[in-house]
């Protein structure tokens, strides 16, 4: 017997590693001390911080991956993953410095893996972080043919004094919303059930409520990064808190950044929920509260600012090319109360 006959091909793993080297190298920066192939990736802590705090997060892409499998489009899920991770540490005030991935599959596909990693490398470069390492695991009997799972780990850094930990948030602070770019990476199990099972659509079909968009394009829309528009505002100290709206939606994520004794009033009439969410809600006959708990409903990031700064921050975000809006405000109490 040998390893290969049981489904693990070390030669294929070596070839795949070689194919990834250039991609990984393209994300190196002045602090990256290692090349691919070492046991651990090396990154020198930037010397210009007085009290550097590392901020880290782990995440996956969830069943959005199933859409990649159905369509054979593997170039975006890596971007989803990196951007999701970037947003999760941005909300503590941190800039990403490096990222690592875990890609597990039954049988290594030497064509697919580099396309996934290419997406990660692209997003790493766009967010100024190094793709410092990763693990590609061959696990026969774990994953169905043509499938893989993908997880990401990010580390960022922030000056301790600039940490966003919610403590500066007060009742009366304004909440500004930044739009999501689609479902991001949450709610895909429900969305897929509605589109593929209940409506019986295929990935190449048009959305019934949006004939110009295919199911595939709608579901694979890349989870965007909020680093670029928010970084200058973080530097200026305008921002008192940030909430990334992921699994759990607005009611599950906004309270995570609020100090004890504070809640949020969110004005539902302040924005038009994008057609994709409305279409899913109607087609799936999903209760409105369930929709807001599962999906981001068009709100990708919530920015808390002092009331006196709100207009100025809105204007700065618009100048940065964003389409922000006044979503609501911080209140005494707890949890999220929807109005309108």
Q: What part of residues 239-268 is at the interface with a copy of itself (CB under 8 A)?
A: 244, 247-248, 252, 256
Closest separation in Å from C-beta 178 to a copy of itself: 15
Cβ nearer to a copy of itself, comparing 9 with 118: 9
Closest CB to a copy of itself among residues 140, 232: 140
317's enclosing H/E stretch is: helix 310-319
Residue with tokens 């897929």: 192
At which residue do the structure tokens 């975006």 appear?
76
Choose the stretch contacting a copy of itself; rule: CB under 8 A; options: 18-26, 70-78, 83-91, 261-269: 83-91
Nearer to a copy of itself, 141 or 211 (CB): 141
Q: Report, in Å, the least distance between residue 132 CB and a copy of itself.
A: 6
| The only residue of 286, 297, 299, 327 in contact with a copy of itself, by rule CB under 8 A | 286
104 DSSP β-pair partners: 137, 149
Those residues with Cβ within 8 angstroms of residue 281's Cβ, 6 or more apart along the chain or in another chain: 288, 291
Alpha-carbon distances of 173 from 168, 268, 312, rounded to whole Å = 10, 18, 14
Size of the site for a copy of itself (CB under 8 A): 82
* Distance in Å, CB of 1 to a copy of itself, minimum: 4
Rounded to an integer, what is the distance from CA 274 to the centroid of its chain? 19
Where in 189-208 is the site for a copy of itself (CB under 8 A)?
189-190, 193-194, 198
Binding of residue 159 to a copy of itself (CB under 8 A) = no
Binding residues for a copy of itself restricted to 301-320, rule: CB under 8 A: none
User: Using the rule CB under 8 A, is 78 a contact of a copy of itself?
Assistant: no
* Cβ count within 10 A of residue 194: 19
Question: Pairing relation of β-strands 325-332 and 262-267?
Answer: antiparallel
| Alpha-carbon torsion (305, 306, 310, 313), positive or negative | negative
Alpha-carbon distance 220 to 199, whole Å? 18
Dump the DSSP string for 322-340: ---EEEEEEEESSSEEEE-
Residues 235 and 307: beta-carbon distance below 8 Å: no
Piece of the chain touching a copy of itself by CB under 8 A; list 117-125, 142-150, 206-214, 305-313: 142-150
* Residues of this chain, 122-141, that bind a copy of itself according to CB under 8 A: 132-135, 137-141
For 267, the enclosing helix (H) or strand (E) is strand 262-267
Residue 162 contacts a copy of itself per CB under 8 A: no
- With respect to a copy of itself, which residue has the nearer C-beta, 286 or 314? 286
The tokens for 200 are 């019986």
Binding track, positions 163-192, relative to a copy of itself; x by CB under 8 A: x-x---------------------x-xx--
For residues 155 and 167, give the distance between their C-alpha atoms in angstroms, rounded to a whole number. 22
Name the minimum Å distance from CB 34 to a copy of itself: 8
- Longest alpha-carbon distance in the chain: 72
Q: Which of 115, 267, 290, 320 binds a copy of itself (CB under 8 A)?
A: 290
Among 12, 19, 52, 268, binds a copy of itself (CB under 8 A): 52
Q: Which of 7, 72, 172, 208 binds a copy of itself (CB under 8 A)?
A: 7
Q: Which is nearer to a copy of itself, 30 or 269 (CB)?
A: 30
Any idea which residue has 């061959």 for tokens?
A: 138
Q: Phi and psi of 23, rounded to 5°? A: -60, -45
């Amino acid at each position: 017997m040998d390893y290969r006959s049981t489904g693990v091909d070390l030669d294929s793993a070596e070839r795949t590693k070689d194919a990834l080297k250039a991609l990984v190298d393209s994300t190196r920066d002045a602090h990256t001390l290692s090349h691919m192939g070492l046991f651990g990736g090396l990154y020198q802590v930037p010397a210009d911080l007085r009290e550097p705090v590392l901020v880290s997060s782990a995440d996956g892409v969830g069943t959005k991956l199933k859409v990649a499998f159905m369509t054979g489009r593997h170039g975006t899920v890596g971007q989803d993953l990196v951007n999701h991770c970037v947003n999760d540490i941005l909300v503590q005030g941190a800039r990403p410095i490096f990222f690592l991935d875990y890609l597990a599959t039954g049988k290594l596909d030497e064509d697919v893996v580099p396309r996934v990693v290419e997406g990660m490398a692209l997003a790493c470069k766009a967010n100024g972080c190094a793709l410092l390492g990763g693990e590609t695991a061959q696990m026969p009997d774990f994953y169905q043919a043509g499938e893989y799972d993908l997880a990401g780990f990010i580390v960022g850094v922030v000056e301790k004094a600039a940490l966003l930990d919610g403590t500066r948030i007060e009742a009366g602070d304004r909440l500004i919303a930044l739009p999501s770019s689609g479902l991001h990476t949450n709610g895909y199990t429900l969305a897929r059930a509605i589109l593929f099972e209940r409506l019986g659509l295929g990935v190449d079909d048009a959305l019934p409520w949006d004939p110009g968009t295919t199911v595939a394009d709608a579901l694979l829309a890349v989870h965007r990064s909020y680093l670029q528009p928010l970084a200058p505002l973080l530097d200026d100290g305008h921002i008192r808190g940030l909430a990334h709206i992921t699994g759990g939606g607005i009611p599950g994520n906004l309270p995570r950044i609020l100090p004890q004794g504070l809640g949020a009033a969110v004005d539902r009439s302040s924005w038009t929920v994008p057609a994709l969410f409305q279409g899913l809600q109607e087609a799936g006959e999903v209760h409105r509260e369930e929709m807001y708990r599962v999906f981001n409903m068009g709100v990708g990031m919530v920015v808390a600012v002092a009331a006196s700064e709100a207009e100025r921050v809105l204007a700065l975000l618009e100048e940065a090319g964003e389409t922000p809006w006044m979503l609501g405000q911080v209140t005494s109490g707890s949890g999220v109360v929807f109005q309108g």
